[in-house]
Structure 1
Amino acid sequence: MPPSSSSFALRPGAAVWLALAFLGLAHLVWIVLPAPATMALMSEHGPVEGLNAALYVVTAALIAAWRRPEDDWRLWASLAVVMLAFAAREMDWHKAFTGTSVLKFSFFLRDGRPLHRVVAALVLAPVALACAHLVVRRGPGVLRGLRRGDPVAVTVLTFAVTLVVGKVADRAPAILAEELGIVLGAAVRAWQTAIEEVMELALAFLVALGAWQHRQRDRRS
């Protein structure tokens, strides 16, 4: 990476600009392409969703490759596990083997068969442990980093906000239809889908950026 771009990537606002660039890309796709073409590009099992899954796997590999012997393996292992879980979720593995989502509480309370519940719990346990480690053990450090403008902490916060934006865009049509009886038109539906899928596409880049910032910061210190 050239020195100028390397220096910019280490700034606290780099992740914010990256997320905004993807948000702009989503709007550009929506403006340039007609609604049916946008929906086809961003649809379930479409090219963008497949690219998302591949990028999560690549990011997990980068996380493993960038770890140094003196680094805390639990942080890097947790990040890699979460990225692989994102990839599995993107490929619909959470419902491919049972016919229903194993990520819902209702699956464990009433919908799932006993054997399916046990297997799903065993598969999800490492993901839950990884998320718990990142939130409980690393969360306080992120909050302290935000107060001093640490680039890694800002990237983590940007990742969280981007994830929320994608999930809100994902759930908005169903909520509007079920709660308010509002059915989105084709153009608005294409806009919503473009935002959902492109902001999900940004997540892998944000994690890779945060991991790289962390590695470069430790080297400089």
Structure 2
Amino acid sequence: MFKLETATRVALAVLLIYAGYLVMLAGSLPREIFAPLFSEKGPFEQMSIVLWLALGSVLLFHDFRSPKVLPLALLAFVFAAREADMHKAFTVMSIEKIKFYLSPDVPVMQKLIGGLVLLSVAGLVVFLARQFYLFFVRRDGARTPVGQVLLLPVLMLPIAKVLDRGANVLKESFGIHLPATVGQFNAAFEEGMEMAIPVLFIVALLLYRASQRGEQSLPAPVLTPGKR
């Protein structure tokens, strides 16, 4: 029978409290204070960069030689770079946009380099998706504290990206402008939850390290006389 582990219940409780805090900020702060707080250059966004870098560093410190850990660390650094807007810092426009590769205004060399970067990141994602599949499906990882906590940021990532792009897609593609209040709540959850994602990954890693130490500290089985 599936049950939530204590670590998962604690993580969910903290997330709910944090979400309530974000709701309070979005609902109570005046626009002139809220806007810079949750802007692309605001403290939440900047802290996200720091936390992704911290996650990558912790992973490398954990075991930089592991073929499974190194891709995770690299992806953490990729997310840090993405939050720092590096995906459009050296090119005419964002390398994530299809228009970047179709526009005649973009130099060919930029298209080639941007495409190689995106393909490399896609390769990392595919590799890690396979590792997650093996862990959760083959090894029943969802029943472990590490797996359950790890599921939280994995599920939150696409939700955060939908919140990130949703308002712009509605405006640019359909001419729908969200009310200011809705936009404020959307920004609070997007930036706030994006900052929480690397924290949850770090918590999962710490739980994994603790479980490994626990296994190593177990006494070796003792053979009783007459048994082999």
Query: Do both share a fold (TM > 0.5)?
Result: yes
Match of 1:153? 147
Match of 2:54? 58
Match of 1:92? 85
Match of 1:22? 18
Deviation, structure 1 residue 128: 2.8
CA distance in structure 2 between the aligned counterparts of 1:110 and 1:22, rounded to whole angstroms:
42
Question: Where in structure 2 are the equivalents of 1:32-43 lying within 5 Å?
Answer: 32-43=28-39
Per-residue Cα deviation, 1:116-154 (whole angstroms, up to 9, x for no partner): 122223434543332222111332212356675212222
Q: Helix, strand or coil for the counterpart of 1:192?
A: helix
Q: Helix, strand or coil for the counterpart of 2:7?
A: coil
Normalising to structure 2: TM-score of the pair? 0.80
Match of 2:7? 11
1:73 aligns with 2:69: no
Structure 2: segments with no counterpart, 5+ residues: 216-228
- How many positions carry a matched residue from both structures? 211
| Contact persistence 2:141–2:148 (CA under 8 A) | no
Cα 1:24/1:121, change in 2 over 3 Å? same
1:220 aligns with 2:197: no
Per-residue Cα deviation, 1:46-92 (whole angstroms, up to 9, x for no partner): 22211111111111111122338xxx712211111111111111111
Structure 1: segments with no counterpart, 5+ residues: 1-8
Q: Helix, strand or coil for the counterpart of 1:102?
A: coil
Normalising to structure 1: TM-score of the pair? 0.82
Question: Where in structure 2 are the equivalents of 1:196-211 lying within 5 Å?
Answer: 196-211=190-205
CA distance in structure 2 between the aligned counterparts of 1:140 and 1:67, rounded to whole angstroms:
20
More helix by proportion, 1 or 2? 1
CA distance in structure 1 between the aligned counterparts of 2:200 and 2:66, rounded to whole angstroms:
20
Deviation, structure 1 residue 109: 4.8
Aligned CA RMSD, in angstroms, stands at: 2.6
Larger radius of gyration: 2
CA distance in structure 1 between the aligned counterparts of 2:129 and 2:179, rounded to whole angstroms:
39
What is the percentage of aligned positions where both structures have the same residue?
29
| Contact persistence 1:81–1:126 (CA under 8 A) | no
